[in-house]
Amino acid sequence: MKLIDLEHHFYDPSTIEAMQNRKGFPNYDPEKDVINWHKDLSMPQGILLKRLLDVSEKRIELMDELGISTAVLSTSQGVEDLDPSESVELTRKTNDAVYDITRRYPGRFLGSAILPTKDVDAALKEMERCVKELGFVCWHTHSNLGGASLEEERFLPLFEKAAELGVYIYLHPNIPEMPQLYKYGFTMAGPGAGFTVDTMLTVLKLIVCGVFDKVPATRMVVGHFGEAIPFLMDRIDNRMNFLPNPALINKEKPSYYFQHNIQVSTSGNMSPEAFECTKKVFGIDNIMFGSDYAFEDPKEMVDFVKTLDITKEEQDKLFFKNAEKLMNRTF
Ligand code: GRE
Ligand code: ZN
């Protein structure tokens, strides 16, 4: 069985070492075994961190057991949005670690590049190195960069570079910069609600700021069945034009970009109803498998996609054909 996993996380030990030695945020407290993402927002780690740090035979065995043939490996949050005085070195270390893993397990992992995005010149060089020298297939980025956001004009060269190099961009959620949420804890600020809102808004900001018009060759993938956008697509198209606003410079309706530039993965969403809605609104050609390992139980994710009520042809698209097309290669 061919099954390509587009959202498969890990941590290089260098990320956690840096977190452990950091006075600011994010930092890792080994005694409490928590990552403090912000002053008032902590995330207990336990087995999660152990799993993220472990990319050994054990992970290959798990992938074999589940039938995941190839996974695009991405680092979890915590290195991209640092000050460039740290992120330039840490992203490079992480990318080198990803490369080593792809070499250690040929054919099982593909590399995604994490970049020191806030230093655009350094990020451009690192993206080029990752694609041309390390053979990576993707630029993995986040819904906010801690005080910065991807639709800002200064980041446009990164979209141009990704298009020029022929790699897609995976837009992964980050914790929203909404301190009013933090008192409800990590799950509310993160995967329970905050991730979705932040990522949805970033995708829409990229659209209305004309990023996909300026760089039409951009290919972007968003997890979690598109972060609720399929459900809201018609309303977004309709209400975005409710009142004229010169700040909205997109040439086409928002839904256009979900047929030409943006695709979604299944990561962390195991709702048959959400799948049906996504399929109806975006089409099966735009949905790919993502497990969101280690944050989700990958067996549940694989069982979910295996038991979807779809044809063999549709299953092939979701399992590997759409991903192969996106990456312009076969596995
Ligand atoms: C995820 O990728 O889904 C995720 C994180 C961090 C915490 C929880 C979570 O990246 O689900
Ligand atoms: Zn994830």
pLDDT of residue 1: 86
Give the atom of ligand 1 at the shortest distance from the alpha carbon of 43. Answer: 7
Ligand closest to Cα of 45 equals 1
Instruction: Report yes or no: 284 and 318 within 8 Å, Cβ to Cβ.
Output: yes
pLDDT of residue 241: 85
| Omega prior to 294 cis, within 30 of 0 | yes
One-character DSSP codes across 21-49? T-SSSSEEETTTTEEEEETTEEEE-THHH
By most ligand atoms within 8 Å of CB, the mutation choice from 52, 144, 172, 295 for ligand 1 is 295
What residue owns the CA closest to ligand 1's atom 5? 295
By most ligand atoms within 8 Å of CB, the mutation choice from 73, 292, 297 for ligand 1 is 292
What is the 252 CA–ligand 1 centroid distance (Å)?
32
Q: Within 10 Å of residue 46's Cβ, how many Cβ atoms?
A: 9
Ligand closest to Cα of 170 equals 2
Residue 48 near ligand 1, beta carbon < 6 Å: no
pLDDT of residue 206: 98
Cα–Cα distance for residue pair 194/173, rounded to 1 Å: 9
How confident is the model over 99-117, as pLDDT tens digits?
999 999 999 999 999 999 9
User: In angstroms, how far apart are the furthest CA atoms of the chain?
Assistant: 56
Instruction: Report yes or no: 141 and 171 within 8 Å, Cβ to Cβ.
Output: yes
Exposed, middle or buried, 239 (CB in 10 Å: 0-12/13-18/19+)?
Answer: exposed
Report, as ranges of residue numbers, the positions in the chain whose pLDDT lies below 70. none
Question: Three-state SS for 182?
Answer: helix
By most ligand atoms within 8 Å of CB, the mutation choice from 19, 76, 265 for ligand 1 is 76
Cα–Cα distance for residue pair 29/39, rounded to 1 Å: 13
What is the 267 CA–ligand 2 centroid distance (Å)?
7
Strand boundaries in 161-320, DSSP class E: 168-172, 220-222, 262-265, 287-288
Residue 202 near ligand 1, beta carbon < 6 Å: no
Residue 268 near ligand 1, beta carbon < 6 Å: yes
Question: Three-state SS for 20?
Answer: helix
Residue 292 near ligand 1, beta carbon < 6 Å: yes
| Of 279, 252, 270, 265, residue with least CA distance to 219 | 265
What is the 297 CA–ligand 2 centroid distance (Å)?
12
Question: Three-state SS for 204?
Answer: helix
Q: Which residue(s) pair with 221 in the sheet?
A: 170, 263
Please identify which residue in the block is written with the tokens 């472990």: 54
Residue 191 near ligand 1, beta carbon < 6 Å: yes
Residue 295 near ligand 1, beta carbon < 6 Å: yes
| Of 119, 139, 121, 118, residue with least CA distance to 130 | 139
What is the pTM for the complete model shown?
0.98
